[in-house]
Amino acid sequence: MFDWEEIYATRAKRMGASEIRELLKLLEQPDIISFAGGIPDPALFPNDAFQEAYSDILSGPEAGQALQYSVSEGYPRLREWIVKRMRARGIDADLENIFITSGSQQALDYLGKLLLSPGDTALVSWPTYLGALQAFNAYEPRYDRLDLSRNAAPEAYSAAADKAGSRVKFAYLSADFANPTGESLTPMEREKLLDIADALDIVVIEDAAYRALRYEGERQKTLLAMDCERSGGIENTRTLYCGSFSKTLSPGLRVGWVCAATPIIKRLVLAKQAADLHSPTINQMAIARVAENSFEAQAEKINTVYRERRDAMLKALADYMPAGVEWTRPEGGMFIWLTLPERMDATELLPLSLKTAKVAFVPGNAFYADGSGRNHLRLSFSCSAPEVIDEGIRRLGAVLSEELAAAA
Ligand SMILES: Cc1ncc(COP(=O)(O)O)c(C=O)c1O
């Protein structure tokens, strides 16, 4: 048999299968109440709007263009819609500041490719989006923990990197409704992050995948908008805003974008030309039409449903969780993050929960660059009706109560 392991490039060696993605395949069985997958509820997709859009495109004058190769920057009409949206958020973007990607996941891959040489340092929160770790891992980085609640001097990050013979290149995080915690940065934390980035002279990657899913509270400024204010305009900024239509319109069409200063956009275009030339033309056209006609209505529709589900999960947690278990109270997004007593291990708890309660969740350690965080777990409320959430959390609460009692 051919020895594949021996022939791989060093970068491929860090591309281990994501335990969670493997696990998720097993968890979506009909008799399991799954709070594991962080995906939109397919019942909420705007099917009719897409049907109309595709039929309109294929029966109209743009049919040939829709099925043809297209420019790597992306479909201009879609980029125009995005420009308007970014401007409404205080970002002075023009068409040349917008680059269409195949989902925001692709942006993370390209940014890893453009910014990380092997051994370079990426600052990420502990925990962080595991797909970002997967994307960056291929470029063989060193990770350091970005902790905005500590009052560490920015130089602490560069000193640690120096010691490891490394250089800090960027800080990656979601300012709004992060995966996996559901939490958002306060305005002060946003300022602090930009201060750190200024002091270290590094890039900020702002992952805005969940930004449109807000159920309460006031909209916060994006890091990119704050960077524009501080630096005098988008061309002077160091922040790369990664947006996505996956959580609002459809993840299956794979359409996302980057909004940033033109030099990095031009480099991203070159990365895309080498990788896949452009994102599917017809999907960009369909997203543009659906976004123009019904983005706000769609956002309102899903936010109403997800708000109800978040509320149901928060209430059920308060009703059924034993003392010693804590959780976040997100204002948006899809996730609630549980903290169990230190001695508990969510990876060990999962098989037990599946067997005795038939409830699935994602163990927290998958989201830590160093594999720690074993006493945490992630729950997603996006795909379950309130009564199912109540039942699932009741059962999970019973498993946790028993485990805690046994360990006492
Ligand atoms: C925080 C975060 N960023 C990015 C993505 C990637 O989304 P997409 O590539 O569909 O835009 C996800 C998907 O779950 C996510 O949770």
Residue 288 in this model has a pLDDT that exceeds 90: yes
CB atoms inside a 10 Å sphere around CB 200: 20
The predicted pLDDT at position 43 comes to: 97
Residues 206 and 84 in one domain: yes
CB of 256 shorter than 6 A to ligand 1: yes
Paired strand residues for 259: 98, 241
Residues 37 and 77 in one domain: no
* Contacts of 364 by beta carbon, 8 Å cutoff, 6+ apart: 127, 180, 337, 346, 373, 374, 375, 376, 377, 378
CB of 180 shorter than 6 A to ligand 1: no
CB of 246 shorter than 6 A to ligand 1: yes
The predicted pLDDT at position 299 comes to: 98
What is d(CA 302, CA 123) in angstroms, rounded to the nearest whole number? 32
Q: Which of 13-27, 105-119, 223-237, 276-290 has the lowest mean pLDDT?
A: 13-27
* Average of per-residue pLDDT across 181-203: 97
**Could you tell me the CA-to-CA distances from 28 to 25, 37, 145 in Å, in that order?**
6, 8, 32
169 C-alpha vs ligand 1 centroid, how far in Å? 21
Domain boundary among 265, 294, 323: 294
CB of 333 shorter than 6 A to ligand 1: no
**CATH number, domain with residue 359:** 3.90.1150.10
pLDDT band at 25 (very low <50, low <70, confident <90, very high): low
119 closest CA partner among 144, 141, 143 = 141
* Average of per-residue pLDDT across 161-189: 97
* Average of per-residue pLDDT across 340-362: 94
The predicted pLDDT at position 5 comes to: 87
**CATH number, domain with residue 241:** 3.40.640.10
- For ligand 1, atom 6: residue with the closest CA: 105
Strands 239-244 and 142-145, by their bridges, are unpaired
Paired strand residues for 337: 378
Instruction: Give the angle subtended at the CA of 251 by the CAs of 339 and 367, to the nearest 5°.
Output: 25
**CA of 129, closest atom in ligand 1:** 1
Of 247, 250, 283, 335, the one to substitute when testing ligand 1's pocket (max ligand atoms within 8 A of C-beta) is 247
The predicted pLDDT at position 359 comes to: 96
Question: In 3-state terms, what secondary structure has residue 77?
Answer: helix
pLDDT band at 19 (very low <50, low <70, confident <90, very high): low
* Average of per-residue pLDDT across 339-364: 94
Residue 151 in this model has a pLDDT that exceeds 80: no
Instruction: Extract the tokens encoding 380.
Output: 């997603």
CB atoms inside a 10 Å sphere around CB 317: 20
* Average of per-residue pLDDT across 316-335: 97
20 C-alpha vs ligand 1 centroid, how far in Å? 15
392 closest CA partner among 358, 368, 356 = 358
6 C-alpha vs ligand 1 centroid, how far in Å? 32
Residues 265 and 359 in one domain: no
Residues 315 and 188 in one domain: no
What is d(CA 62, CA 282) in angstroms, rounded to the nearest whole number? 9
What is d(CA 72, CA 102) in angstroms, rounded to the nearest whole number? 11
The predicted pLDDT at position 106 comes to: 98
What is d(CA 192, CA 269) in angstroms, rounded to the nearest whole number? 31
Residues 224 and 331 in one domain: no
Share of the chain above pLDDT 90, in %: 90
* Average of per-residue pLDDT across 250-259: 98
Residues 121 and 257 in one domain: yes
Share of the chain above pLDDT 70, in %: 97
Residue 30 in this model has a pLDDT that exceeds 90: no
Residues 221 and 232 in one domain: yes
What is d(CA 330, CA 327) in angstroms, rounded to the nearest whole number? 9
CB of 121 shorter than 6 A to ligand 1: no
Residues 39 and 55 in one domain: no
pTM: 0.96
Backbone angles phi, psi at 194, to 5 degrees: -70, -35
What is d(CA 281, CA 62) in angstroms, rounded to the nearest whole number? 11
Q: Which of 148-162, 268-282, 322-336 has the lowest mean pLDDT?
A: 148-162
DSSP secondary-structure letter at 357? I
Burial track 278-307 (b if 16+ CB lie within 10 A, e otherwise): bbbbbbbbbbbbbbeebbeebbeebbeebb
The predicted pLDDT at position 31 comes to: 86
The predicted pLDDT at position 20 comes to: 63
Residue 21 in this model has a pLDDT that exceeds 80: no
The predicted pLDDT at position 13 comes to: 82
282 closest CA partner among 118, 32, 70 = 70
209 C-alpha vs ligand 1 centroid, how far in Å? 6
Domain boundary among 260, 278, 294: 294
Residues 216 and 151 in one domain: yes
* Average of per-residue pLDDT across 129-136: 96
- Total domains in the chain come to 2
* Contacts of 76 by beta carbon, 8 Å cutoff, 6+ apart: 95
Domain that holds residue 399: 4-45+296-407
Domain boundary among 262, 294, 326: 294
* Average of per-residue pLDDT across 398-402: 96
Where in 312-358 does DSSP place strands (E)?
326-327, 335-339
CB of 38 shorter than 6 A to ligand 1: yes
The predicted pLDDT at position 261 comes to: 98
Where in 159-202 does DSSP place strands (E)?
168-173
For residue 298, give the amino acid letter.
Q
- What would the pLDDT profile of 374-396 be if each residue is shown by its tens digit? 999 999 999 999 999 999 999 99
* Average of per-residue pLDDT across 354-363: 94
Instruction: Extract the tokens encoding 253.
Output: 């069409």
Q: Please answer whether residues 93 and 235 qualify as being in contact, where contact means their C-beta atoms are separated by less than 8 angstroms.
A: no
The predicted pLDDT at position 27 comes to: 67
The predicted pLDDT at position 150 comes to: 78
The predicted pLDDT at position 112 comes to: 98
Residues 157 and 247 in one domain: yes
* 31 or 333: which leads in pLDDT: 333
CB of 176 shorter than 6 A to ligand 1: no
Q: Please answer whether residues 159 and 167 qualify as being in contact, where contact means their C-beta atoms are separated by less than 8 angstroms.
A: no
What is d(CA 225, CA 233) in angstroms, rounded to the nearest whole number? 9
Mean pLDDT of the chain: 95
Residue where the block lists tokens 């470029």: 139
Residues 146 and 274 in one domain: yes
Backbone angles phi, psi at 357, to 5 degrees: -110, -15
Residues 335 and 375 in one domain: yes
